[in-house]
Structure 1
Amino acid sequence: MQQSIKRILIMNNQNIAGKVVVITGASSGLGEATARLLSSEGATVVLAARRTERINALAEEIKGKGGQALAVSTDVTNRAQVKELVDKAVATYGRVDVMLNNAGLMPLAPLDQLKTDEWDQMIDVNLKGVLNGIAAALPHMQAQKSGHFINVSSVYGHKLGPDATVYCATKFAVRALSEGLRQEVKPYNIRTTVISPGAVATELLEHISDEKIQAETKGFVDQIAVPADTFARMVAFAINEPANVDVNEILFRPTAQPV
Structure 2
Amino acid sequence: MFQKKIIVITGASSGVGRELACLFASKGAQVVLLARNVEKLAELQRQINIEGGSADYYSLDITDINSIRLIFEKIVLRFQHIDILINCAGVGKFQFFSKMGSDVIDQMLAVNVHGLIHCTQAALPSMVQQKHGCIVNIASLAGIITTSKSVVYGATKHAVIGFSNGLRMETLKDGIRVIVVNPGPIRTPFLNIADPSGHYLKNAGRFMLDARTVAEKVISGIEKNKREINLPWYMGIGAKLYQLMPGVFEKIFGRIINMK
**TM-score normalised by the shorter chain: which range applies?**
0.7 to 0.9
Contact 2:134 2:177 in 1 (8 A): yes
Identity %: 33
Equivalent residue, structure 1, for 2:134: 148
For the aligned residues, what is the CA RMSD?
1.8
1:8 aligned partner: none
Distance 1:238 1:208 in 2: 27
Segments of 4+ in structure 1 off by > 3 A? 254-259
Shift of 1:116: 1.3
- How far did residue 85 of structure 1 move? 2.6
CA contact (8 A) 1:199 1:253 kept: no
Matches within 5 A, 1:41-80: 41-80=27-66
* Structure 1 partner of 2:248: none
CA distance in 2, matches of 1:227, 1:254: 14
What do residues 90-131 of structure 1 show as CA deviations (whole Å, max 9, x unaligned)? 222221001111100111111110321110000000000111
Query: Which amino acid in the other structure matches residue 102 of structure 1?
Result: C
CA distance in structure 2 between the aligned counterparts of 1:81 and 1:50, rounded to whole angstroms: 11
- Partner residue, 1:251: 230
TM-score by length of 2: 0.87
1:184 aligns with 2:177: no
2:183 is aligned with 1:197: yes
Unaligned runs of 5+ residues in structure 2 are 239-255
Q: Does 1:122 align with 2:108?
A: yes
Q: Distance in 2 between matches of 1:99 and 1:64?
A: 24
* TM-score of the superposed pair, with normalisation by structure 1: 0.87
Give the secondary-structure state (helix, strand or coil) at the position aligned to 2:202. helix
- Distance in 2 (alpha carbons) for counterparts of 1:225 and 1:117: 28
For 2:217, give the aligned amino acid.
M
CA drift of 1:84 comes to 2.5
1:218 CA displacement:
1.6
Tell me the residue number matched to 2:252: none
> Aligned letter for 1:123?
L
1:33–1:221 distance in 2 versus 1, CA, 3 Å: farther
Q: Using CA pairs below 8 Å that are at least 6 residues apart, which structure has the higher relative contact order?
A: 1
* 1:232 and 2:215 correspond: yes
Q: Is contact 2:65-2:118 (8 Å) kept? A: yes
- Which stretch shifts more, 107-116 or 86-95? 86-95
Which position in structure 2 is the counterpart of 1:220?
203
- SS of corresponding position for 1:23: strand
Would you say the 8 A contact 2:140–2:157 is kept in 1?
yes
Q: Which residue of 1 aligns with 2:156?
A: 170
8 Å CA contact 1:22, 1:86 repeated in 2 = no
Q: Partners in 2 of 1:57 and 1:132 — Cα distance?
A: 27
Equivalent residue letter for 1:249: E
Unaligned stretches of 5+ residues in structure 1: 1-14
Query: Could you tell me how far 1:254 is from its partner in structure 2?
Result: 7.4
